[in-house]
Amino acid sequence: MHETTLILIEVGALLLGMSLLGRFAIRIGISPIPLYLLVGLLFGEGGVLPLDASEEFFEVGAEIGVILLLALLGLEYTAQELFTNLRQSKYAGLMDALLNATPGAVCALMLGWSPVAAVALAGVTWISSSGVIAKLLRDLGRLSNRETPTILAILVIEDLAMAFYLPVLSALVVGVSLLQGAIAVAVAVAVVSTILYIAFRHGHVVSRFFSVEHAEPLLLGVLGLTMLVAGLAAQVNVSAAVGAFLVGIALSGRVAHSAGQLLTPLRDLFAAIFFVFFGLATDSSELLRMLLPATLLAIATIATKTLTGYLAARRAGIGPLGRWRAGLSLTPRGEFSIVIAGLALGSGVAPDIAPLATAYVLITIIGGSMLTRLPDANWFRTLVVAGASRSTK
C-alpha cells in the first residue's frame, strides 16, 4: 500500500475514533483528554497496533496544537492585564518554584541520580502544562471566572521561567562552559523582553497589519505570525508556547475577536492531536518499571501544586471555591516536562528519567483532569461552604 494512502487511513480512522470518544466523554460529563491519551497509548510504541506511518503527521500536529492553545488563550487578555497579573502573582511564582521543584530534586537524589539529573527532575515536577490547562478551562467554561487570571499568571510565569531554565539545563547536561551558558540565557532574555515590549507598547500597531473585513487573509496572517514567532522563539531556546501566547496578547480589539473565532476550530483539531500524540510517543512497556516512584511523586506534587494555586488565589482575593478551582486546575504537567526529560535523556545523565517522567505526566494529566472537576460537584461545594462558614465564626 502506498505510504500516503496508509497515512490517510490511519489518520482518518483515529480522528473518527476520537470523535466517538469525545461524544462519550461529553455524555458522561468528563473531559475527553484522558481518553485521548489512552488512545495514544493503545496505538503507540508498545501498544496493540502501532501507527508508524502517521507518526510524523501527529508530531507536527501536536506542536501546532500547543501553539494554538496558547495563542487563543493570549487573545483573551490584553498586555496591560498580563502585566497587572504578573505583578500581583510574583510571590505566587516564587512559592510555585519552591513547592513544586523541590520534590522532584529530592526524588532524583533518593533514586541515586546525579545533581544534574536532580535539576532536570525538579523542572519536570515544577512546570504545569499550559496546553492541558488551557483546554480544561475552555471545556469547563471557566475562561471568564475570577480565578482564571491568577491561574494564567502562574502559567505565564512558569513559561517565562523556562526561557531561563532550559538554556541553563542544556548547558549543564552537555557540560559547556559558564560563558556559553551565560550567552544562551542572555539571548533568551533578550528575545522574551523584545516580544513583551512590542506586545505592551505597540500591540495596536501589530493589529493594524490585519483586516477583519476578509476572513481568509486574517486567518492566514494571524496563524502565520503566530507560528513564525513561535518558531523563532524555539530557535533561541525560548518556549514556542511563550512566543505564541505573547502574539495573542499583542493583538487587540476586533482583530483579536475575529481571529479567535476563525482559529477556534483549528485549535480544537490540533489540540486533540497533541494529546493523542503524547500517548503515541510513549512506550507503554517502559511505564510499569517506574510506576511506583512516579505515582508517589505525582501524589506529592499534586498536593503542592494545589496548595500553590489555592494560596495564590487567596492572595488575589478569590473566594474559597475559586481557590480550590485555581489549585486543582494547575495540577496537570505535560509538554515542558517531556521536553526537560528529553534533554536529560539525550545527554545520558539519567537514563531512567524518560519512563519516570512519562508515567508521572500521564498520572498528573489524567488525575488532574478529573480533580479539576471536583469544585463543580455539589458535595464538594457543600464541604467548602461549610468550611468557610466555620472559619469565619
**What is the model's pTM?**
0.74
The predicted pLDDT at position 223 comes to: 92
Assigned domain for 70 exists: yes
Which of these, 352, 353, 331, 351, lies nearest to 340 by C-alpha position?
A: 353
Which of these, 113, 55, 73, lies nearest to 280 by C-alpha position?
A: 55
Question: 212: pLDDT confidence band, cut at 50, 70 and 90?
Answer: confident
* The three cell numbers locating residue 348: 545520558
Residues 128, 100: Cα–Cα separation, whole Å = 10
The predicted pLDDT at position 181 comes to: 63
Ramachandran category for residue 46: left, alpha or beta (phi over 0 → left; psi -120 to 50 → alpha)? left
- Mean pLDDT of all residues in 211-229: 90
The predicted pLDDT at position 313 comes to: 92
Q: Taking 60 as the threshold, does the pLDDT of residue 72 lie above it? A: yes
Q: Taking 80 as the threshold, does the pLDDT of residue 202 lie above it? A: no
Average pLDDT, the chain: 82
Among 8-12, 91-95, 332-336, which stretch is predicted with the lowest mean pLDDT? 332-336
- Mean pLDDT of all residues in 333-341: 78
Domains: count for the chain:
1
Assigned domain for 358 exists: yes
- Mean pLDDT of all residues in 302-307: 96
CATH number (domain holding residue 215): 1.20.1530.20
The predicted pLDDT at position 241 comes to: 73
Kind and range of the H or E element at 380?
helix 378-392
Residues 357, 369: Cα–Cα separation, whole Å = 18
Question: 106: pLDDT confidence band, cut at 50, 70 and 90?
Answer: very high
Bigger pLDDT: 274 vs 177 = 274
Bigger pLDDT: 252 vs 264 = 264
Assigned domain for 383 exists: no
Assigned domain for 381 exists: no
Assigned domain for 81 exists: yes
- Mean pLDDT of all residues in 271-291: 78
Assigned domain for 20 exists: yes
The residue segments making up the domain with residue 82 are 3-375
Assigned domain for 386 exists: no
* The three cell numbers locating residue 315: 492572595
